[in-house]
A and B are shown apart, each in its own frame.
Chain A
């Protein structure tokens, strides 16, 4: 009988719970629940993936800020110039009165120390910078000396986020990989921040959730210029990291989710969002779907064979129904970027006659052709779809395509050498490395580029391309540089190193009471900076 009494108590507890639950509705809160990809790293020296950068722009401020056309403008630094003529020595004047979240003012010492930390740790986005030596000139001036000349150095600093030196020093954990400096504060920065950004981290469970509140003393201020009268800054951000889009759809519909910035929706879901008057789709930056063709492995080692693939692929087939959501033409760089040049094949449609003609010119015109191995990253169905489409298209030419989706560690390890790279590897390149033009050109086609998955075509034989790529990094003037980029695009495309199925704009799905982003940039990060967004509480409470 005792058990019945216990059950009774539990029942009463539940009854109370149920009452509380029903009565838990309150007025509209000034909170934005944002869904992003699982963020693991929040240390700015370690964070590297584009979804890390999205969070980074909220907690920290970069030294310079990306502009929509692909250059940068003053931010933590107010001005900069090369010292001497060889582009290895740059001087930056810092903004005065910038406050860290702790309330302390940022100095040149913090910036120089952060750069040293960034370079010493050598992780995250520090790779493209090379070896940089930072020295403090005075309280508001810092000098950077590079190991090789670079005209684009200031632009690469759009991913350099200074941290507060003393705060990090106070929280290093010993022993670590950096001797005296222990772990350089890496562990602490995973759950705390030491930045100057518009939001301050409250909590972070890696891969699960991150919470941040507005930093009232943010140096750019919180004026309402350019916003409507009811549109106020968002006070609290809750980043959730959910990857099940059926759930996200439910949450979006019920108003529990305010903003989704990954854009992993299926087609029917996107159509549903588009049709819902309470919801809004916003296209900010696009990703370039790229299928590398390994030029060192038969049969894609033959230029004519690769061109045959270019013509055989049915560009329209996969994109078709997605066209209304912005998927479409792309090239070496994204069509939304300044200086975009259309490349072959034009028009972008399947031309089996031309494909056969190219195939006949190749060394695989007669005799057996080895199968084309196409790998994609496990779980990414849009990549698989492109592989399946190619499989069906090349079958019309009598060619076999083997499609497989190994998990990421295996997939990425395959791309470490030309011998192990499959014939075709597909990647989705988001504009995540600053500056974006350099990322899509030098870093992807120059022997000293990022290598690995970024250059899985393994083609570096054209001296003219290499010369021009190097010229871009020696040209300080942005518009002059754009001209070189324009010259380069058809030259690179002529070798048919890759085909570019489509660009994939990332649809940000949001509630009608959330407005933004005020400025759209061809870079990951600035658009997800929630300083760039506002909330309308009246609309949130009353419906749109």
Chain B
């Protein structure tokens, strides 16, 4: 009997706490689910910078929590559920593989808002957001095309998903534009974060004659490999990776999630949050181009900055025709620009890239 009373009291306390979490004067709790460690120096690091920016912006009015190294498996659903149970009002799930788990948990917690990065499934309380990284890839391609002397550019892909393929295409188109002899060698690492594998991939590409290595994986290992090899250029990925500047890292694509995270947190605090589908690029500041170092000739730097400007203002779209698909069939006619639907599901290389997309 006593035990029952205790249990009931415990349940009552639990309910009161859940109720209190919704009360106005309590801090808004914002949670983050990360695929890698916060110290990866790349993808997860930048999301965590966004979290810290939210804390700085709202001070005591918010409380943030995060969980790192969450695998994209059954563990993800549990991690998200526990975060919702802990009283989070808004949860950002920051990797593609969290898509179905996020939707599943969102069904059970209709009062909690969810934001899933890089996915496409939405619900009343689930929004999605991503960045137009391919805009940054256009700038990288331009610089890389000018810098390469062997005319071989190496590319470390993570997984053959549309986001990565888009980046390869965009970089290739713009490298080719400034250097018609350029050739891309692509290695698939099948990981987002594995310093050993990434370093191996970079070394393999350098051995094959690549003197510029682009990466779509999150660690700084390829930078270190390039530094060791000497005379190889790289670009920071997801984060500035400026510790490798001015060589090998000559520029970078920086994901800046802070403005978006602040805006969405404010929307939850003010009760104006609605499910959205955000895909921002250089113009909105979600994609930033890290400082172009002096290892890049001044006129190339100027050209790259002009491209940043043109993309940012909306005057130029990185996928502007004429562009053919790899098999030679026409994709975009002269002056035509790609629509977001095709870009979102891109599963083909553009003409000129050798090799097949693994499937």
A and B pair up: no
Residues of chain A touching chain B, judged by Cβ–Cβ distance below 8 Å, are none
Residues of chain B touching chain A, judged by Cβ–Cβ distance below 8 Å, are none
